[in-house]
Amino acid sequence: MSLVVKDLRVEIATGERRLIPVDGVSIEVAANECVVLLGESGCGKSLTALALMRLLPDGAGIADGDALLDGESLFDLPERAMRAVRGGRLAMIFQEPMTSLNPVLTIGQQIEESLTLHRDLRGEQLAVEVRRLLAAVGLPGERLSAYPSQLSGGQRQRALIAMMLAGEPSVLIADEPTTALDVTVQAQILRLLKDLQRQRGMGLLLITHDLDVARDMADRVAVMYAGQIVEWTTRERLYGSPMHPYTRRLFQVLPSAVRRGDRLVQISGRVPPPDAQIVGCRFADRCSDAIEACRADAQGLREVAPGHWLRCGRVGSASPLPEVKPEAGEGRPAAGLTDRLATPVLELRDLAVHFPIRKGLFQRVAGHVKAVDGVSLAIHAGETLALVGESGCGKTTLARAALRLIEPTGGQVLLSGEDIGRLDGEALRRKRTAMQIVFQDPFSSLNPRMRVGDIIAEGLAALRPDLDAARRAARVADLLDRVGLPRDAAGRYPHEFSGGQRQRVAIARALAVEPRLLICDEPTSALDVSVQAQILNLLADLQREQGLAYLFITHNLPVVAYLADRVAVMYQGRIVEEGEAGALLSAPTHEYTRMLLNSAPGRGPA
């Protein structure tokens, strides 16, 4: 057994309150095995990893439990010895490749440092080993003298992996190593990790929130919820017959082509806070199958089948869990098909946005970055057009140019047949009611110093000056109802809400001026899957009720398959392929689309 964790408990002391973000976690990672720690944000998975590295932030401490690396207890080691273990026998890769490399040292220097430190290599031997490591992570040898800023995100993550391999770890911890990367790069990095794990026979503890990534990578999976492991079994068993109600719900909230037209199952409520005093099952309040005993009795992790551990009292008891059936959807109208001949809500004709590159003393224009390079699109009322592409392909610039937040350098933007590209001042302002935008990050999209009511009313105040204060307030209350927020939310500040609730506020703000088109710029990619389901359901409801058209910008293909009527694939500023969602996703014609589809995780182990 490479790494064995027993009853790990992490405590954070803040004033009088004592938070227990990790409560009794036990896992094991064998040699040549990949164990995935799966859970939504805030469930304690990252803290578990940091505790194993003994790198917990100030204020947090290991309260109880033990961790054995090759039989040696990590928590008993003095700090000096622990320093040799870190990056040596136990290494860790972090999520953000931008910040985990030192920007003023070359990649080569950073790998060398690791090698001299942990393996005491010098001179010729050192140079040979650095090149071997670079080759192992698939970086060309000349990259040795490159600085991190000269590398792409994927290359940086490779360099970081090379650094971590330098100490020849017996267990490698990877904390969301691909979350910040594009799908195609993610696929490469995941494959690399899996190959390295097999070649070297090391244990890999992969931390992720992505069920699909887990399916591709894991030998065994531990599902975490609110600081505890609720299910712990092999991949085959977990994906074949998940037992814990939470795990089962997680599978159901995932959007996919199969669920098209159905409402997604929602997990009601929120994860209990880490200081909550819960005797029974921590999921009981959100579990539709909870019975009295669930709340009253402490739930231990027990083995319900060989190699299948579960923290749920009802499985295998006298009152087994009922089967979960997805809610029957009301079905969506065959959107847009009937109106296809009508004037589209938004039409882009050869839209181009070129940013000048200025050089030299006199800032001469030396060339252009063609962020958007001749894009033509049309969106009809009640239709969802998904714009798919990787970061840097010009999706966001396209959205902003369509909204006239960036001046397009060429082409036309037609709103219900009228060219708004030449409008100015008051005329443009009046047109702004027709199009609104919802952003990716619900934390930066709401002004932290304004109350939710004022945030929602802002557009009304600017675009509907005819409404008086009372009518505005009534409208805000109505909007809060519609997006499923309590009415008293209007008087509170954004930081009092969770990510999903803030996204609802952002949607309410956009809806306030009664737009016909909503541009959603990755509206769910910063949210947990259970919250994503809620937001997607909300968007679907709004579309059905109001006939809204959506321009849905995303890189998440299952969401596209679930939601979109048509799909446009964008690559380097151009639309390379466009068509009906079902047809395009099942039979892509363009090379790039095929690559995107093949990179998407979730097709099972490689």
Residues in touch with other proteins (CB under 8 A): 14-15, 400, 403, 405, 428-429, 432, 435-437, 439-441, 444-451, 455, 458-459, 461-463, 491, 493, 495, 506, 509-510, 513
What is the C-alpha to C-alpha distance for residues 386 and 388, in angstroms, rounded to an integer? 6
Question: Which tokens go with 529?
Answer: 């899957």
DSSP state of 337: T
Sheet of 72-73: strand order equals: 17-29, 3-14, 60-69, 72-73
**Closest by alpha carbon to 348, among 374, 387, 384, 383?**
374
Q: Which is nearer to other proteins, 317 or 444 (CB)?
A: 444
What is the C-alpha to C-alpha distance for residues 475 and 479, in angstroms, rounded to an integer? 6
Q: Which is nearer to other proteins, 314 or 555 (CB)?
A: 555
DSSP 209-259: S-HHHHHHH-SEEEEEETTEEEEEEEHHHHHHS--SHHHHHHHHH---GGG
Q: Which is nearer to other proteins, 423 or 595 (CB)?
A: 423
Q: How far is the CB of 322 from other proteins (least distance, A)?
A: 39
Q: How far is the CB of 551 from other proteins (least distance, A)?
A: 13
Q: Which is nearer to other proteins, 235 or 504 (CB)?
A: 504
Q: How far is the CB of 373 from other proteins (least distance, A)?
A: 22
DSSP 282-336: TTGGG-TT--HHHHHSPPPPEEEETTEEE--SSTTSSSPPPPP-PPPP-----TT
Q: Which is nearer to other proteins, 43 or 455 (CB)?
A: 455
Q: Sign of torsion, CA 207 210 211 212? A: negative
Q: Which is nearer to other proteins, 83 or 429 (CB)?
A: 429
Q: How far is the CB of 203 from other proteins (least distance, A)?
A: 39
In the three-class reduction of DSSP (H, G, I as helix; E, B as strand; rest coil), residue 187 is classed as helix
Question: Which tokens go with 102?
Answer: 């030192």
> Is 532 in contact with 504 (CB distance < 8 Å)?
no
- Kindly provide the residue ranges of all beta strands, DSSP E only, lying in 471-516, ordered along the sequence: none
In the three-class reduction of DSSP (H, G, I as helix; E, B as strand; rest coil), residue 23 is classed as strand
Q: Which is nearer to other proteins, 322 or 465 (CB)?
A: 465
Q: Which is nearer to other proteins, 207 or 483 (CB)?
A: 483
Residue type, 445: S
Q: Which is nearer to other proteins, 123 or 448 (CB)?
A: 448
Q: How far is the CB of 403 from other proteins (least distance, A)?
A: 5
What is the C-alpha to C-alpha distance for residues 144 and 213, in angstroms, rounded to an integer? 30
Please provide the distance, in angstroms rounded to a whole number, between the alpha carbons at the two ends of the chain.
Answer: 24
DSSP 399-450: HHHHTTSS--SEEEEEETTEE-TT--HHHHHHHGGGEEEE-S-TTTSS-TTS
Q: Which is nearer to other proteins, 414 or 434 (CB)?
A: 434
Q: How far is the CB of 518 from other proteins (least distance, A)?
A: 11
At residue 399, φ and ψ (nearest 5 deg) are -60, -45
Residue type, 217: M
Q: How far is the CB of 358 from other proteins (least distance, A)?
A: 13
Q: Which is nearer to other proteins, 243 or 518 (CB)?
A: 518
What is the C-alpha to C-alpha distance for residues 34 and 39, in angstroms, rounded to an integer? 16
Q: How far is the CB of 305 from other proteins (least distance, A)?
A: 44
Q: Which is nearer to other proteins, 428 or 587 (CB)?
A: 428
Tell me how far CA of residue 438 lies from CA of 228, 362, 519, in angstroms: 34, 39, 6
Q: Which is nearer to other proteins, 14 or 145 (CB)?
A: 14
Q: What size, in residues, is the chain?
A: 606
> Is 2 in contact with 203 (CB distance < 8 Å)?
yes
Q: How far is the CB of 401 from other proteins (least distance, A)?
A: 12
Q: Where are the alpha helices (DSSP H) in 43-106?
A: 45-53, 79-85
Q: How far is the CB of 519 from other proteins (least distance, A)?
A: 9
Q: How far is the CB of 399 from other proteins (least distance, A)?
A: 10
Q: How far is the CB of 15 from other proteins (least distance, A)?
A: 5
Q: How far is the CB of 460 from other proteins (least distance, A)?
A: 9
Q: How far is the CB of 351 from other proteins (least distance, A)?
A: 17
Q: Sign of torsion, CA 278 279 282 288? A: negative
Q: Which is nearer to other proteins, 436 or 524 (CB)?
A: 436
